[in-house]
C-alpha cells in the first residue's frame, strides 16, 4: 500500500474546486453555463474540464508512478488498466446537473484504489469550502470553512429501524428506490445531489441511502472509503459485499449505503 500524505490530495481537490468556482461565479444571476454533451447526453461544462486538468496534472507530478483514471479521461483501454494494482479514481465535478441548476450540491471526488478497493478518499464541496476525507484505518473527518476538523460517525442501522432518515437522489428516484423506502415505518426523506448523499450517512445525518439506479465507479469511490471509515458500509443491494473498482465497464451494481448493523 502506498503511504500518501492525504493533505496533498486535499490540496489538489481544493485547487480543482477553485477552478470550478471560477466558472461557476462567472455566470452572474444564474445565466446558462456553456454546455457540451457527452455520448450519453449528460452535460459536460467548462468546469469539468478545468478541474480535470488541475487534478490530473498535479497527481501526475506528485505521484508519477500511480496512473489516473478520471471521468473526463476515462478512455484508458481495459487491456491496459486491468493490470493496475493501484490507481487514482477521479470525478473532477460530481453533480454536473446540480452545477447547472446552481444549487451548490456538486463536489470534487478523488480516491486511491488498491487491489480493487478504495483506501483513501477526498471529497471537496466548493460552494461550502468544506472537505470530507478518510484513509484506511485512520478514520473519517470533515473540515469546515473555518478550518475546524470533526470526526465523522455513521448511525447504527437495521431493517426494522423506525422513522429512519432516508437520503435519495435529487435527479434519479427509481421504482426500486420507492419500494425500498416503503419497507420502513414513517421514513423521513432527504433529497440531495452528488456524493453529498453518502456524506449525510457518514456524518449520521441520514440513516440509509439506497441507490437503485445507474452509477459509475468514479461517482462512489471516494465516498465509499469515507463511509467505511465512519463506521458504515457501501454494499451491493441485498448482499453484504462492498463495491469494487476497475471493472471492465466501470459501472456499479445497485447498492445501499448504511451505518453498520446494531451491535457491530
184-199 pLDDT per residue, tens: 999 999 988 899 999 9
Domain-located, residue 264: no
CA triple 75-196-163, angle to 5 deg: 135
- What distance in Å separates the CA atoms of residue 233 and residue 240, rounded to the nearest whole number? 9
Residues 20 and 48 in one domain: yes
Residues 24 and 108 in one domain: yes
**Which of 123, 151, 179 delimits the end of a domain?**
151
Question: pLDDT (tens digit, 9 = 90+) per residue, 83-141?
Answer: 999 999 999 999 988 888 888 999 999 999 999 999 999 999 999 999 999 999 999 99
Closest among 73, 93, 130 to 219, alpha carbons compared? 93
Q: Residue 4, SS3?
A: coil
- What distance in Å separates the CA atoms of residue 221 and residue 113, rounded to the nearest whole number? 8
Closest among 217, 59, 223, 218 to 132, alpha carbons compared? 223
- What distance in Å separates the CA atoms of residue 256 and residue 116, rounded to the nearest whole number? 18
Supply the pLDDT for residue 120. Answer: 98
Judged against a pLDDT cut of 60, whether residue 242 lies above it is answered with yes
**How far is residue 257 from each of residues 62, 115, 135, 190, measured CA to CA in Å?**
32, 21, 18, 14
**How far is residue 209 from each of residues 21, 88, 213, measured CA to CA in Å?**
28, 25, 12
Residues 102 and 24 in one domain: yes
Which pLDDT band, with edges at 50, 70 and 90, does 174 fall under?
confident
Kindly report the CATH number assigned to the domain that includes residue 57: 3.30.540.10
Residues 112 and 201 in one domain: no
Supply the pLDDT for residue 38. Answer: 59
Question: pLDDT (tens digit, 9 = 90+) per residue, 196-227?
Answer: 999 999 999 999 999 998 899 999 999 999 99
**Which of 151, 185, 218 delimits the end of a domain?**
151
Domain count, the chain: 2
The residue segments making up the domain with residue 213 are: 165-259
Per-chain mean pLDDT for the chain: 90
Supply the pLDDT for residue 263. Answer: 41
Domain-located, residue 28: yes
Mean pLDDT confidence for 73-78: 83
Residues 210 and 242 in one domain: yes
Kindly report the CATH number assigned to the domain that includes residue 195: 3.40.190.80
Residues 88 and 11 in one domain: yes
> Taking the model in full, what pTM does it have?
0.92
Domain-located, residue 156: no
Bridging pattern class, strands 117-125 and 107-114:
antiparallel
Amino acid at each position: 500500500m502506498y503511504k500518501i500524505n492525504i493533505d496533498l490530495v486535499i490540496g489538489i481537490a481544493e485547487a480543482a474546486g477553485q477552478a470550478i468556482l471560477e466558472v461557476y461565479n462567472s455566470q452572474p444571476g444564474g445565466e446558462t453555463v456553456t454546455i457540451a454533451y457527452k455520448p450519453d447526453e449528460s452535460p459536460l461544462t467548462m468546469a469539468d474540464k478545468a478541474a480535470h486538468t488541475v487534478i490530473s496534472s498535479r497527481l501526475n507530478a506528485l505521484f508519477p508512478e500511480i496512473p489516473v483514471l478520471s471521468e473526463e479521461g476515462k478512455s484508458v483501454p481495459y487491456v491496459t488498466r486491468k493490470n493496475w494494482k493501484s490507481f487514482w479514481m477521479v470525478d473532477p465535478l460530481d453533480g454536473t446537473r446540480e452545477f447547472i441548476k446552481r444549487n451548490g450540491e456538486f463536489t470534487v471526488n478523488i480516491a486511491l484504489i488498491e487491489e480493487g478497493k478504495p483506501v483513501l478518499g477526498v471529497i471537496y464541496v466548493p460552494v461550502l469550502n468544506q472537505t470530507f476525507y478518510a484513509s484506511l484505518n485512520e478514520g473519517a473527518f470533515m473540515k469546515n470553512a473555518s478550518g475546524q476538523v470533526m470526526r465523522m460517525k455513521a448511525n447504527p442501522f437495521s431493517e426494522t429501524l423506525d422513522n429512519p432518515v432516508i437520503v435519495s437522489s435529487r435527479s434519479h428516484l427509481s421504482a426500486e428506490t420507492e419500494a425500498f423506502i416503503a419497507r420502513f415505518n414513517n421514513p423521513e426523506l432527504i433529497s440531495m445531489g452528488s456524493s453529498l448523499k453518502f456524506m449525510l450517512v457518514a456524518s449520521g445525518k441520514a440513516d440509509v441511502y439506497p441507490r437503485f439506479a445507474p452509477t459509475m465507479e468514479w461517482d462512489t469511490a471516494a465516498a465509499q472509503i469515507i463511509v467505511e471509515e465512519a463506521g458504515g458500509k457501501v454494499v451491493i443491494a441485498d448482499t453484504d459485499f462492498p463495491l469494487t473498482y476497475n471493472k471492465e465497464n466501470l459501472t456499479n451494481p445497485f447498492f445501499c449505503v448504511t451505518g453498520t448493523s446494531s451491535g457491530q
